[in-house]
Amino acid sequence: MKILADKHIPFIEKAIEGLGETVIKHGSDMSPSDFKDIDAYLGRSVRKLGAEELTGSRVQFTSTASVGTDHADTDYLESQGIAFASAAGCNAVSVADYVTAAILNLACRRGFSLKGKSIGIIGAGNVGSRAAKRCEGLGMDVVLNDPPLKRTTGEEKYRPIHEMLGCDFISFHTPLIRSGIDKTLHYFNADFASKIRPGAVLINTSRGAVADTQAVIKALDSGRLSDAVIDVWEGEPKISAPLLEKAFIATPHIAGHAIEAKIRAMRMVVNAMCEHFQIPKRVDEKDFLPPPEVEKIEIGKSGSVECRLNEAVKNIYNIEKDDSSLRKILSMQHPQRPDFFDSLRKNYPVRRELSTVKQVVCPKEIEPLCKAVFPPAE
């Protein structure tokens, strides 16, 4: 068996060692000729996957070590009988950590309490449901919106969109769907912005094009949005400098980049490949994870609850560092900016999930909040 794999999938060489002949390359350096004589492909979202790459090849199994699949022509793959696997849900905990860090950081620096604040979660799947649980644990009122889940389950907890227009925060956790009844392309647009609560906070960790960049900028300028937390950008890696300048927190599409998420994604696609080819080998995440650098955290007793929790979180994940790193792009010449954005993602430092902390010493009166911020490992 011959396997083509993206070199930026963590530990991929070690994980597939002994499974056959391997070709390890950066996804952007791959050409259609690389696919001609392979049996399996382990890729990432940086590489398109469809007829151009696979016509005339012998590929039987393809995958992406990412959550989103809009870069893969799944209709074509199905028509050709080519198996496809993704890493859906691999980074859900990591993104929930990011949302938690962002909300605490904003509340601390802006000087308000989260208790009784409301947040509308648009997209209540793997990520949205976990983010919702964290927010509820912080004392926030959560409104969930997910039309596909509403149709599938009929559950009343999935509310119509108009019920969240008055929320203090609106957080997107949807895939990018370009057309149809569940279209999410430019879901946040000028019309949507005109209906939300004045002074709301936008959080986008889903896909850049879910929010119309110009609509977000205008909403910030008008005060319809008080702040925005932007991790995903239209046109990546060419991102909007005006939006970057106006965002309260701006990061280079790294919300899901905790090392656990990356290794989980690798495990999911490698094991899916082994299962497809009936290979007995299975990958275990624990064999690749480094020991946590921080095992114990003590929550301070002075200051607001939000600031105390924010400082505790920064021991594991300091979102301000990611924000500062991205803002360096503003001092660069325009041709240099896309490569710099990509480099921040490719060379992202090891970040651990908040659940890796084994012991959290917390004042009794805020123990429930501490448990929400530092949940047990899944």
pLDDT, one tens digit per residue, over 304-332 is 999 999 999 999 999 999 999 999 999 99
Instruction: Let me know if residue 152 belongs to a domain.
Output: yes
| Same-domain status, 263 and 141 | no
Residues 176 and 273 in one domain: no
pLDDT of residue 45: 86
Peptide bond into 198 cis (omega under 30): no
Residue 281, pLDDT score: 87
CA dist., res. 249 & res. 271, Å (int):
36
The CATH number covering residue 243 comes to 3.40.50.720
6 contacts: CB under 8 Å, gap ≥ 6: 12, 24, 25, 26, 27, 30, 42, 43, 44, 46, 47, 65
Do 54 and 27 sit in the same domain of this protein?
A: yes
Amino acid (1-letter code) at residue 148: P
Catalytic member of 44, 253, 264, 308: 253
Q: Give yes or no: residues 45 and 122 share one domain.
A: no
Pairwise CA distance, residues 62 & 53, whole Å:
11
Catalytic, 236? Answer yes
**What does DSSP say about strands 83-85 and 118-122: parallel, antiparallel, or unpaired?**
unpaired
Taking the C-alpha atoms of residue 172 and residue 211, their distance in angstroms, rounded to an integer, is 9
| Strands 296-298, 359-361: pairing kind | parallel
Rounded-to-integer distance, Cα 327 and Cα 254, Å? 14
Is 156 a member of any domain? yes
Write down the pTM of the prediction. Answer: 0.93
In a domain, residue 12? The reply is yes
The tokens for 123 are 């997209």
Task: Sort strands 83-85 and 200-204 into parallel, antiparallel or unpaired.
Answer: unpaired
Q: What is the pLDDT of residues 20-66, one digit of tens each?
A: 999 999 998 999 999 999 999 999 988 999 999 999 999 999 999 99
Is residue 294 included in any domain, yes or no?
no
253 is catalytic: yes
Of the candidates 159, 236, 276, 320, the residue annotated as catalytic is 236
Question: How many other β-carbons are positioned within 10 Å of the β-carbon of residue 84?
Answer: 19
In a domain, 219, yes or no: yes
Residue 323 and residue 210 share a domain:
yes
Residue 262 lies in domain: 2-86+258-287
Cβ contacts of residue 295 below 8 Å, gap of 6+? 357, 358, 359
Q: How many domains does one find in the chain?
A: 2
Q: Are residues 46 and 112 in the same domain?
A: no
Q: For residue 200, what pLDDT is reported?
A: 99
Same domain, 150 and 217: yes
Catalytic residue among 197, 207, 257, 308: 207
Residues of the chain with pLDDT under 70: none
Identify whether residues 141 and 32 lie together within a single domain.
Answer: no
Same domain, 250 and 106: yes
Q: Is 207 a catalytic residue?
A: yes
Residues 269 and 305 grouped into a single domain: no
